[in-house]
Each structure stands twice: as structure tokens, then as C-alpha cells.
């Protein structure tokens, strides 16, 4: 393992930011312009700067990939920037197999969240197909695969059935003796199953209030009219209109919720008013420190470039 002048490490025992205890592995610290394991420029601007050992960071990233994490954030709870570990850093620290697994998982999730893309259902094809035309909530559309030239339904993934609904087509093909059918489509017209208005994923409601949050895209909406509630912190949507008094909570609980929300915003406002004079006084010191850090980083970059030129 080759360590460069920009990679800070010591061989002695020290506190690892991941384990929060003594760790004998050589610690690393992500810094702007760092070079690591033969990579000249790991990141031009680091999103996090927390000292952690190579082995601990590697184990952490491997665990997150095995758990199916989409974005792997800095593991240090005290990290000032709370950055996301880049794909380049992941490629450096873990095996090629795990990198491919992580990339495939990211692609699967991106396709699942994109209403304009879907996977070809034919075995072994593994092609991402474009869903043509305007997409409405869970309505079936004809999708053409450019690889295997098959046309299938965007909803039930069976061969395209013009003039038939997914349920009717499944029953018709079953009577004709077809055994290579996909699973029957979900009855989206049910009162208990609706599609997320943002990402189109089916959602089943068995109990609870009418304020729904999609587990996939985190979109908050009304179960009855599918209106967006992302910015409705006080739940005013249920005070009027067709969804009036349909939230599913008592009036007292709604008032208590609104009191808490207003109290939080008022507390932030008071804190800002109290802290603003202190921030104005501390601003020159912060700017000076930033300038010194930037100038020091520029000097180190120039020194590294001179060393590279002399070595070549």
C-alpha cells in the first residue's frame, strides 16, 4: 500500500471516528486533492473530513452495500459537511464485485423511480426500455424493447394486449393454455390500493390516517384525492374541500400537532434573532480561517505538481 504526503496517517494507536474507540489500523482523512492507492486526484472538493482507518471505512462501506444503501454517507456523526462517499472512493476501497453490485442496485432503484423507464420482462434480456407517451397513474401502455424487439405491457409485463385490460388479458391467455404469464396485475382500482402520484409505485393502505408517505420517494400526499402535502405542515388540506374532516385524527390531536409545528418555527426564529449579532461578530474570523485553509491547500497542490514534474 502506497501512502502519499497528502494522506495523513500514523502507525500508533489512536481514536477511530467510526468505532469511537482505539483502533490500530492506519487512519485516513479525506482532504481536498488527496491521492490514495495510485489515484492522482481522489476528490477535488471533499464532502467530509473525518479521520477513519482504512479497514474500518472499508468494512462500513461493504456493510452499507450489502444492506442495499443507495447513497453511503460519511459515518462520522460529528462530520461538519455530512458528505456522501463518492463512487470513486467506493471503487478504491472495496472489491470489484461489490462495486458492480452497488452500481446495479443504484440502476435498479433509478429505473423503479422513473415512470418513463422499465425493465424488459423477457428472461436474459435485462434491457432498460423507455415508456413512450404521457404516463398516467398505473395505466397500461405498450413498451417496445430495442434489444429483443418484444412489445409488452408496462403494467403486467405480459405481451401487449390492445383492447383488453390486464385482468381480462390474463384470464383470456390462461383459458388458451399459456403458462409463461407474469403474475396477475394488482387491482389498482381497489379502495385499499393506489399509486403514488410522484413515482407511481402501488401503495396499500390497511389502516391509519389519510396522510400518506411513499416509502420509496418520500412523497407526502392525501390518500383520498392524491393531492401533495409536502408543504402542508399544518394539514390545512383537511379543513375544507372534499377531504374536509377526513384526516382520521381527532380535532384535539390536530390542534396539538399545529401547536408543536408553530412552536418549532417560533423557536428557530427567536434563536436566529439572538444568534445573529454573534454571527456578525464571528464572520470576519470565519472568513480569515477559510482563506488560510484555501491558501494552504493551494500551496500543497503546487508542491505536489512540482514533485510530479521533477519525478517525470
Domain borders along the chain are 14-109, 114-175, 190-256
pLDDT score, position 226: 87
| Numbers of helices and strands, H then E, in the chain | 5, 12
Q: Which candidate in 79, 209, 214, 217 is catalytic?
A: 209
Give 3-state DSSP helix, strand, coil % of the chain, rounded to 5.
35, 15, 50
pLDDT score, position 39: 35
96-113 and 54-66 helices cross at what angle (nearest 10)?
Answer: 40
pLDDT score, position 47: 42
Q: Quote the CATH superfamily of domain 14-109.
A: Zinc/RING finger domain, C3HC4 (zinc finger) (3.30.40.10)
pLDDT score, position 130: 86
pLDDT score, position 50: 45
Q: Max CA-CA distance within the chain?
A: 80
How far is 100 from 133, CA to CA, in rounded Å?
A: 32
225 is catalytic: no
| pLDDT per residue rounded down to tens, the chain (312 residues) | 333 333 333 333 344 455 444 444 444 444 433 434 333 333 333 344 444 567 788 888 899 898 888 888 877 767 666 678 888 888 888 999 999 999 998 888 888 777 788 888 888 888 888 887 555 545 678 888 989 988 888 877 888 888 888 778 778 877 776 655 555 445 554 577 887 887 777 788 888 888 898 887 888 999 988 889 988 888 889 988 888 888 888 888 888 988 998 999 898 888 888 877 877 777 777 777 766 666 655 656 666 666 666 665
3-state secondary structure of 152: strand
Q: Residue 109: what are its φ and ψ, rounded to 5°?
A: -70, -40
Amino acid at each position: 500500500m502506497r501512502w502519499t504526503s497528502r494522506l495523513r496517517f500514523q502507525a500508533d494507536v489512536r481514536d477511530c471516528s467510526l468505532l469511537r474507540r482505539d483502533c490500530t489500523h492506519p487512519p485516513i482523512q479525506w482532504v481536498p486533492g488527496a491521492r490514495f492507492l495510485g489515484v492522482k486526484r481522489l476528490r477535488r472538493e471533499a464532502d467530509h473530513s473525518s479521520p477513519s482507518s482504512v479497514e474500518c471505512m472499508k468494512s462500513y462501506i461493504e456493510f452499507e452495500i450489502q444492506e442495499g444503501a443507495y447513497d453511503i454517507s460519511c459515518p462520522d456523526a460529528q462530520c461538519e459537511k455530512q458528505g456522501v462517499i463518492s463512487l470513486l472512493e467506493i471503487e478504491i476501497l472495496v472489491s470489484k464485485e461489490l462495486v458492480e453490485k452497488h452500481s446495479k442496485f443504484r440502476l435498479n432503484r433509478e429505473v423503479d423511480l422513473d415512470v418513463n423507464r422499465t425493465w424488459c420482462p423477457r428472461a436474459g434480456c435485462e434491457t432498460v426500455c423507455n415508456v413512450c407517451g404521457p404516463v398516467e397513474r398505473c395505466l397500461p401502455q405498450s413498451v417496445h424493447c430495442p434489444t429483443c424487439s418484444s412489445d409488452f405491457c408496462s403494467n403486467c409485463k405480459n405481451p401487449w394486449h390492445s383492447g383488453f385490460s390486464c385482468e381480462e388479458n390474463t384470464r383470456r391467455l390462461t383459458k388458451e393454455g399459456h403458462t409463461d404469464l407474469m403474475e396477475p396485475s394488482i387491482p389498482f382500482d381497489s379502495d385499499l390500493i393506489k399509486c403514488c402520484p410522484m413515482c407511481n409505485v402501488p401503495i396499500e393502505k390497511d389502516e391509519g390516517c389519510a396522510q400518506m408517505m411513499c416509502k420509496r420517494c418520500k412523497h407526502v400526499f392525501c390518500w383520498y384525492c392524491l393531492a401533495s402535502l409536502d408543504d402542508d405542515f399544518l394539514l390545512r388540506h383537511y379543513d375544507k374541500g372534499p377531504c374536509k374532516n377526513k384526516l382520521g385524527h381527532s380535532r384535539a390531536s390536530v390542534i396539538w400537532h399545529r401547536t408543536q409545528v408553530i412552536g418549532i418555527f417560533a423557536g428557530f426564529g427567536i434563536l436566529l434573532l439572538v444568534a445573529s449579532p454573534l454571527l456578525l461578530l464571528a464572520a470576519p474570523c470565519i472568513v480569515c480561517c477559510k482563506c488560510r485553509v484555501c491558501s494552504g491547500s493551494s500551496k500543497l497542490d503546487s508542491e505536489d505538481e512540482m514533485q510530479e514534474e521533477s519525478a517525470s
